[in-house]
Structure 1
């Protein structure tokens, strides 16, 4: 078997959360172009359907709300039924709802903080626990049964003003990496986290030209926002490179946020 057997085997399959847009959609396009069969999970039904139409019969859209355990369980069962075996799991679902801890008069609503953590961290773990369990039943390929790629953010250690909830949730994703890898090693499942910097996704679509220029000045080289296709390329490499495990990879062109 070659080291990239997760991508070259006839049974190559992937589940992607947050698949309807941004980094998730870019990853879906990259993997689909290489022949991977996909289960695309998101709560935006229309955008999900549009992407599935674009990618064709190899992509199956599955509606999910990662904050609802019953929804996650149904979506995972549907994904397994469609794909048979899940070899690659990419957790890209996330939100970046801003809010300072206080404006000097009123504190940050606790529910706003909780919602971000529920989606970015608790919801991610819910998907992981089901996906890892499904992977345990996969046929081993040189001992390997699957790989889980989680999306954190450079905000986990460079959080800006108004990012308390987002930074805390992404720090939790980073903190999960090693214990998850340790839990799953005996089953032949790898866990890798990617911490992207600033990428040109829908989150950046509302930036003014002035704000975009200010942010790009924080990036060492190349001094621009990342292309989602560059993220997708890294995910593809992680799936192919068996010796990547239990680590966090910064993909940020050396940005230093202030």
Structure 2
């Protein structure tokens, strides 16, 4: 799909991976909508003329429905979604303080997995209603998984479960939506230089860099955005979760 002039929505677009996607999409002529829980004043990138911003809780069906319809009214038919919104968690299933609290586990699953599914189902509904492109496509939905779906470390039970759910969701969703001309793909990033890792001490960051075979550094959010852009442009990529990790395989802890 050629994205110039197309309407692409990015969740979590105010910072990190999402912000990098917004910048690259705008540079290639897309009309971009951002959904984020941050206020508009706290976005990390320069506002573009072809950009619409909505402060939205992606787990809330009513908020997403209203914002989606408003975005389509402003930016036209929806052709793409990149789901970057998510949260992290670091708690053991059983620590010396007792078992993992259920509230935190539920919250991570709700935001990362249920929020992603909520965006997927409501976006696909709207994509299905507009005319396909010359290649027969109506839309592309890119979800953000994680290498934690495969290499979950001790303390990542909630996070790994949420990202594993996104990975498992990819193929059945792609198969179902194929008849509507909608592709579904997930990206599983490794350790990227985002706000999620920004609070780490330098020693921890250096350790993660050394764990990566090549290149020995944290990923740049733009590299995530470049892969997302290629997925839009390459119609044969469908129903797959792509690792973007410099060949890292995380140890148990």
TM-score, structure 2 as length reference? 0.95
The residue number in structure 2 matching 1:223 is 216
Deviations 1:109-141 (A, max 9, x none): 101000000000001101111100110012111
* 2:233 pairs with 1:211: no
The residue number in structure 2 matching 1:86 is 78
Deviations 1:6-58 (A, max 9, x none): x24x4x1100001111000000000001110011000001455564xx13221
CA contact (8 A) 1:40 1:48 kept: no
In 1, Cα distance between the equivalents of 2:211 and 2:220? Answer: 16
In 2, Cα distance between the equivalents of 1:137 and 1:80? Answer: 12
Match of 1:184 among 159, 168, 177: 177
In 1, Cα distance between the equivalents of 2:97 and 2:108? Answer: 22
The residue number in structure 1 matching 2:49 is 57
In 1, Cα distance between the equivalents of 2:24 and 2:97? Answer: 47
CA 1:168/1:245 → structure 2, altered by over 3 Å: closer, same or farther?
Answer: same
* 2:7 pairs with 1:13: yes
* 2:220 pairs with 1:194: no
CA contact (8 A) 2:10 2:34 kept: yes
How far residue 145 of structure 1 moved from its aligned partner, in angstroms, is 0.5
In 2, Cα distance between the equivalents of 1:55 and 1:82? Answer: 16
Match of 1:156 among 138, 149, 174: 149
The residue number in structure 2 matching 1:40 is 34
In 2, Cα distance between the equivalents of 1:43 and 1:32? Answer: 21
Unaligned runs of 5+ in 1: none
Q: Secondary structure at the match of 2:173?
A: helix
Over the aligned positions, Cα root-mean-square deviation in angstroms equals 1.3
Alignment of 1:24-173 (within 5 A): 24-47=18-41, 51=45, 54-141=46-133, 142-173=135-166
In 1, Cα distance between the equivalents of 2:41 and 2:151? Answer: 31
How far residue 77 of structure 1 moved from its aligned partner, in angstroms, is 1.6
In 2, Cα distance between the equivalents of 1:49 and 1:243? Answer: 33
How far residue 207 of structure 1 moved from its aligned partner, in angstroms, is 1.2
CA 1:75/1:159 → structure 2, altered by over 3 Å: closer, same or farther?
Answer: same
CA 1:60/1:48 → structure 2, altered by over 3 Å: closer, same or farther?
Answer: farther
